[in-house]
Amino acid sequence: MRSSVTPNFRRAWLGRALLGGLSVWTGVALPGGIQSAFAREAVIHAANGQSVQIPYTFRDNLGTQWDVQADGCIGPGDADIYDAGGRLFVGANQQYSPNAQQAQLDATANEIVLPSMPLAGLNVSRRVAVNAKEGWCRWIEVLENPTGAAIKTTVHVNFDLGGNVQNSQGFSDEKTRQQIGLAVFDGNRGIAMLGAGRGAKVTPTFAPQQGNDQVDVTWEVEVPAHKIAAVVHVQAVRPTVDEATGFLQKSASQKFLEHLPPDLSKAVVNFPPHAGSMAELEILRGTLLDVVELHGGDQYKGTIQETKYAIATPYGPVELPAEKVVALLTVGEFRPTQLVVTTDGEAFGGLLQSPAIRLQLSSGQVTPIPIASISRIGYRKRLGEPTEFKYDQPMLLLRNGDRIGVERPTGPVLVNTRFGPLALKPEAIAAVLFQGEEQPVHQILLTDGSRFAGLVQKDPLEFKPRTIAAGKTLSFTAGAVSRLQLAKAEEPSDDAPTLSLSTTDRLVGTLAGKLQLETAFDIIAINGPEVRAISRAGNAPGEVQLTLWDETTLSGRLKGDVMDVALKSGPTLRVPASLVEEYNQPQPQPPASILEKIHGLIAELGKDDWKGADRAAADLTAMGPQVSATIKSLRDAQAKPAQDRIDRILAGLEVKATKPPTTQPEPEVNAPVEERR
C-alpha cells in the first residue's frame, strides 16, 4: 500500500503532532493559525508538483473517458455521459469556479488537485482522481475553516447527465438503513453514485429528477474552527443499471481513501477511517518485494532479513517474530519511537532494540539501514493474508497508537452513570470509549445498541494480553487508554424497543415495573411493558404523553420522576423521566387479561373441532394488529395445524395494519330520511 505523502508534508505532520501535544491523538485543538496553516499544507503538498493543463483527461480500463474541467466537473467527453458531471455548490448555492488554467497532478494517485477559493466563509478546494483498473472516479471536496467558530454548511453537487434519468435505484447501508448510494439508468448505461461509506455518520440526500437529466446530491457538514472537513463521493459507469448496483454492493471492499495524506484521511466525514492506517499514519506495504522508506523519501526494496523485533514499551518488553509483523512506523521527530504492526492488526509502540534493519537488495547484497534513518518499513503481502485487519477479538487501544489484543475480563465492569452505579457483565459490553472530541466522560456502548455516558471506576485497568507476556497481567492507567473494544456494537433493529434521552444517550430495552401517571383528574397505574410510546408533553419536566398497546393515549406527569428500563443486554436502569426524549416499543405486551384470552384461543386452534378453531381464528383476527407480536411469540410451541392457522391470521393482521381505515361519512342532519339510512 504506497503512500503519496511527500517528505515535506510528513515532517509537517510530525511537527504538528509535537506542537499540539499529539493533538491528533488527544483531541486537543491547535491554535487557529497553526492548525489553518497545516490544513493548507495538506492541500498544497498532497500533489507531486507536476502542473498540467485543464481540461485534463483520464481514461479507465473499462473505456470511460473522464474529462476534468477547471471547476472539477466532468465534461461530455467522447460518450456524452455527462454534460457537466459534478458541479460543486457550498452554502447558499455559492458555486466553486476557480479561475485557473492549470492544476497539480499526483501521478501516484492518478489525481488532479484544484486550487482553493473562498466560499460561504470557508476555503474550498477539490481533488478528482480516477482508478483506471477498477473503473471509478473519486471527488474529494476539501473545506477549510479559517475562523475561530464552527461553520455548518451544505455541500451540494449537481450532475447534469448526457441523457434523461429513466429509472433509479437507491442503495442503503444494510446496518444503518441510511441511503448511501444511487444507481441511475440514462437510457444507454448505468451510473453508480456512492455518497458515503458503510457506517458513516454523515450521509447524503439524493434527488434524481425522473424524466430529466439532473441528479443532485447534498450533505450537511460541520467544519470545526481552524480545521478541515472533507467529503468524498465516487461514480462508476457500467453498461447496465444492474451492474451499477453491483458496484455499489461491492463498495465495502473498495479502498476509496487510498493515497490520501493522513490529515486529509482523518478529515473525511462521510466514510469510516481507512483500514490501512495506524496512529494517523498510512501503513506501507510492498508488492513483489519488502520496502524500507527513509525520512528523505527514498525507498529501498528487497527482502528484510530480520527474524524478530524486540521493543521496549511503557508496559514492558515485547518480542515479536518477523512472520507476525507487516509494517513498522516511526513516530515523532525529537524523540522518535517505533510502532510495530502485526498481521492481527495489533500495534506495539516503543524503542526498537536493534540499531538497524538488515535488507537484502535484489542484487543479493545485504545492507544494514539505521533505525534513525527509517520512516516506515512494509513487508510484501503474504499468501493468504487478509486484505484488511479483522478486529473481531477484544482489543485495547492506547492514546499513543498502540493496539493490544487482550483477553475478555472475567469479572463485572463497574461504571458510575447518571442512572446510578452499574456492574456490567463483560459479554454485554461492546466498547468503552475513554476519550473523544468534546467528551468529558467515558462512553459505554453495549452489544444491544445501547449507549450512555459514565465513568469506569477502576484505575489502573488490568488486562491479560493475548499475544505478548503470556499469562501475565498488564496495567494501564485510564488516561492512557483511548478505547476498549470487546465485541461488535450492533445497531438496534426496527422492531427493537428504544428510549432516546435528551443527553443523547440511547437505551435499547423495555419499560419495566409500574408507572404512576398523574393526570388532570386521577393517578393511573400503567404496566411498563404495555406502553407503546412516550413523548414529551407540556412545559414542565416529567410531563409526557403515553400511548398504550391498544393506541390509547394519556397525558400527565410521571409520579416519582423515574422509570425502570430493562435493557436487552441484561441490566435494568432507573432513568429520570425529565431526560426522556422519546420511547418507541413496536411490540408492546397486552394486559394480563388479554394475554390469558389469547392463550385460550391459541389452544382452540389446535383442536380437532374445526368450527371452534374457526371461531378462535376469527376472534384473534378481531383483536387487531396490536396482538400480532404476542400471537407470533406463541407460534413455534404449537402443532403444525395450529401453526398454519396462525400464519394465516398473522398475514391477515399484517394486511389490516397497512390498509388505511375506511369510514362512511355521517349523513347530514337535515338530509332526507332515505339518504340518512
pLDDT digits (tens, 9 = 90+) for 558-613: 888 789 999 999 899 999 988 889 999 988 988 888 888 888 888 888 787 888 88
Q: How confident is the prediction for the chain on average, in pLDDT?
A: 84
pLDDT band at 466 (very low <50, low <70, confident <90, very high): confident
Q: Tell me which residue of 170, 191, 189 sits closest to 181, measured CA to CA.
A: 170
Q: Residue 49: what pLDDT? A: 59
pLDDT band at 27 (very low <50, low <70, confident <90, very high): very low
Average pLDDT over residues 412-423: 93
The C-alpha cell at 68 is 476534468
**CA 109 to chain CA mean position, Å:** 25
Q: Residue 83: what pLDDT? A: 94
pTM here? Answer: 0.62
- Three-state DSSP class for residue 632: helix
DSSP 3-state helix, strand, coil percentages of the chain (rounded to 5)?
Answer: 20, 40, 40
Q: Residue 649: what pLDDT? A: 86
Kindly write down the DSSP assignment for every residue of 47-100, as one continuous string. S-SEEEESSEEEE-TTS-EEEE-TTS-B--TTTTSEEEEEEEEETTTEE-----
Whether a cis peptide bond, with omega within 30° of 0, leads into 460 is yes
Cα–Cα distances in Å, from 233 out to 88, 141, 259, 270? 12, 9, 15, 9
**Pairwise CA distance, residues 125 & 53, whole Å:** 17
Q: Residue 278: what pLDDT? A: 56
Q: Is the pLDDT of residue 21 over 80?
A: no
Query: Nearest 10 degrees: CA dihedral of 207, 210, 215, 220?
Result: 0
The C-alpha cell at 303 is 527482502
Residue 121 has φ and ψ, to the nearest 5°, of 80, 5
Q: Tell me which residue of 240, 128, 127 sits closest to 192, measured CA to CA.
A: 240
Report pLDDT digits (tens) over 404-416.
Answer: 999 999 899 999 9
Average pLDDT over residues 278-290: 77
Q: Residue 250: what pLDDT? A: 87
